[in-house]
Structure 1
Amino acid sequence: MQRKYGKIVGWGKYAPERVLTNAEIETFVDTTDEWITRRTGIKQRHIAADHETTSSMAIEASRRALAMAGMTPADLDLIVLGSTTEDYFCPAASSLVQAGLGAPGTPAFVVNTGCTAFVYALATGYQFIHSGAYRNVLVIGSELLSRALDWNDRATCVLFGDGAGAVIIQATDEPCGLHGFNLGSEGEDGDAIVFGNPVPGWNVPREGYPNKTGAILMNGQKVFRFASKVLGQASAAALADAGLSMADIDVIVPHQ
């Protein structure tokens, strides 16, 4: 197989209609708009309706990406979905997206790496292009985190919302696309943010956390210290991989 470059030829997004502002959160949690904005930069977040799911949001974002690219689901060679909040343990949300789009037979799988899921999915999808294995790859990030929250926990309920984004990567001989990336994992600190007890019999570390079941549990200070350290390190490594410097960068879009 001939190695290829990959360029983004279409993108789409979906955000639920319902918007929850900081002012509304003030009415049921001991916090303020000023406190939330100063510490997070967040003013509002979108909240999924009862009928919406991770897969339904992913499908809508994907349809918009396909429309921009002038493509149909039949043109897709692979679907990669990055998500931590799948509709079910089985079937995979990626399979539901494949069926919802009308792309029978197209391989599809989920990458579940928490906040980094879309970056992992993008890097993975790009490798299938770069190796020459596939020509058109749909990469999606979709999360429905509002249903994973304890809305009485001000440390977490102000941070998360719902939505989806999708891109289509297409093989090309033109030198372009994903110039560099850096992936990593710190399983030793896996207890810093835990998504409840999803399977009976699983034991989730509870020391230092409120005694809740099912909701997102987070050691905010630990997460902040880790993120502050690795964001710069990972960015520098990605730049080095691409053969670029900060002077070459026009826009930075970090994780919240």
Structure 2
Amino acid sequence: MTQSQPLLEARNIIKRFGGIEALRGANFSIFPGEVVALMGDNGAGKSTLVKTMCGALQPTEGEILFEGYPVHFTTPKDAQAAGMETVYQDLAMAPDLDASANLFLGREIPRKGLFGRLGFLDNKRMREKTREALASMSVQLKSIDAPISTLSGGQRQSVAVVRAVTWADKLVIMDEPTAALGVVQTRAVLDLIGRVKASGRAVIIISHNVPDVMAVADRVEVFRLGRRTARFAGEDMTMENIVGAITGAIVNETQA
């Protein structure tokens, strides 16, 4: 894969649910180390497109390419094996477990030897790796042994992002990463997104928050009625242009 080639690309994706066409020839692309925001009203097709790209849904028509090659992710595990992870809006975390247990949820490290074969876990090693992962993203918790439910919203979001970064070496997808967060917590999560980008990973953000997107995104792709209708980058990525595209007043991309 060359730097001029997208890491992940969707071409002319159509997705039907019975008689409803949720995606109508949708296109999308993201390059290595890039932060791209997917924006649009509810029902525009953003989440459906992301689900088709990460294997949670299968496209009715169209093609998904990863590192320049056509792929067919039949489940999210296929996408995870390729180096992709998703941070869902509900975070998909176990509230009664601590940061370490959540980081390794479903990927627990067994103890060596007989104890491991009997099902005992290497909690010490998992805690050490959790501390290293949090430190690598400059995330500080009062205690990694505290249940996730006792952490602030921003801290829970940060742990979810660190978990994704730990297992994804190429692409992290974030669904509404700053929803319901206060100003300070939002700033911390946006800073964390910047550190994920600096680590060389690409980031897709699904968001309705234009100021947050403008603070971190390299590019914005706006969807409306199941297809991409506008793309903005650089000086064109303004509040006026983005809101205009979301409402349908601005269209800078046409598709046959």
TM-score (norm 2): 0.23
